[in-house]
Amino acid sequence: LSRIKMRDVIKELQSRGKTIFFSSHELSEVEMICDEVAIIREGKLLKSDKLKALVAEKGAHITLEQYFLDIIDLLHK
């Protein structure tokens, strides 16, 4: 219930043109709330772009979580 309320508050602020920095490990929440995404690992910026542009790099219907796992996997190869 608290996630839904928080999401509603953030969406309301967005509708008023406010910029919100939202940090989360819950990537499904990030997908519902954010227009732009930055992926940071160990203090280093790995990727930053509009959400739609990031996931479009990997395919038509990929989730942010799948994108994130692909990026992390590339670092370990």
**pLDDT at position 77:** 58
Sign of CA dihedral 8, 19, 51, 45: negative
**pLDDT at position 76:** 64
**pLDDT at position 71:** 82
CA Rg value for the chain: 13
- Map tokens 């732009």 to a residue: 36
**pLDDT at position 61:** 78
CA distance 21 to 33: 11
Average pLDDT for runs of 10 along the chain of length 77? 90 92 90 90 89 81 86 70
**pLDDT at position 60:** 65
The structure tokens listed for 74 are 């590339």
Sign of CA dihedral 16, 19, 25, 28: positive
